[in-house]
Amino acid sequence: QTWSKKRRSKMKIAVIGSGGWGTAIAILLSSRGHNVYLWSWIQEETDRLKKDRENKEFLPGVKFPDTIYCSHDMAECTDGAELIITAAPSPATRTTAKQLSPHVKEGQKIVNISKGLEEGTLLRLSQVCKEEIPQADISVMSGPSHAEEVSRGLPTTNVVASEHIDTAKFIQDVFMGDMFRVYTSTDIIGVELGGALKNIIALCAGISDGLGYGDNTKAALMTRGLAEIARLGKAMGANEKTFMGLSGVGDLIVTCTSMHSRNRRAGILLGQGKSLKETLESVHMVVEGVNTATAAYEMAHKYNVEMPIVEEAYNILYNGRNAREAVLLLMTREKREEK
């Protein structure tokens, strides 16, 4: 009874970041009856969204409901909001959180829906938010959820993780609907790592496709890639079972196999022989796997965890390693038991 009552209650929600995923979540929550304020980092973007009533760059053809308010004014978006959702790309998470912090009251519930790691510090994005907004109650949401499909109301399932199960249940109630199902977790480390690191494996799956390799190759990359993610997660204190769930194997499957995935699309171009610069210019969106590869490579060494696929991805991106040579090196590693 409590859950259904919460579902029907209308609240003000701020979505900070108007890229594809932020916009899709704004559309989803607006369709649930909430008043959603969608913040853009530049006024020109806000003006375009107001005029077009759709995000023509990232989600063309999906019209905004009337209950989405586009704004460049952080104070207007956050004042009185019962929930704040942060959706900035990982390289912009810290600067966005710093800008948001003065507008956040003590105990304000914030859920970060971006996926990635911060280069240099090797922090998870919730840790970055916590540093910049220490007064907030910060959660994360992740899972197999292409913006293109969520914005069109296709059935999707995610997981929300918080240190406080009551907070996770509150966010679950806000998001849950006929076409968007949410599970709860208290394993923030596992949920974030799964969402961040699968982008590197998706990049590798794309490289495999670009090289002309088959389903066998991709299945091997996904399976052994997941083993690497779980090894690092365990070393960092995550629950290994989390990686068998939505933010682990679920997100890995969708990102490695779909052309909606910008990481896979970027990998295909790299596998076809394009340079990293040419690839990023062609994809024309943030490719989180490229940003995360450096952090993951450094974390593997920091925690003394063997991550050969991540290492070869890093070598291809930054050390000029030929992709076919990288595959050969992976295939001819010393024999071992599967675990």
Catalytic residues, by residue number, are 198
CA angle at 95 for the pair 284 and 63, rounded to the nearest 5°: 50
C-alpha to C-alpha distance for 184 and 162, rounded to whole angstroms: 8
Range list of H helices, 183-275:
188-211, 215-235, 251-257, 262-271
C-alpha to C-alpha distance for 1 and 16, rounded to whole angstroms: 31
C-alpha to C-alpha distance for 54 and 256, rounded to whole angstroms: 28
CA angle at 313 for the pair 311 and 316, rounded to the nearest 5°: 110
Distance separating the N- and C-terminal Cα atoms of the chain: 45
Tokens 């675990």 label which residue? 339
The dihedral over CA atoms of 110, 197, 124, 73, expressed in degrees to the nearest 10, equals: -40
Here the tokens at position 169 are 């249940």
Closest-CA residue to 171 (of 24, 20, 25): 25
**Cα 265 → chain centroid:** 16
Closest-CA residue to 191 (of 150, 123, 245): 245
- Kindly tell me the burial class for residue 235, based on how many C-beta atoms sit within 10 Å of its own C-beta (0-12, 13-18, 19 or more): middle
Range list of H helices, the chain:
2-8, 20-31, 43-52, 74-78, 93-100, 125-132, 147-150, 165-175, 188-211, 215-235, 251-257, 262-271, 276-283, 288-302, 308-318, 323-331
C-alpha to C-alpha distance for 26 and 144, rounded to whole angstroms: 17
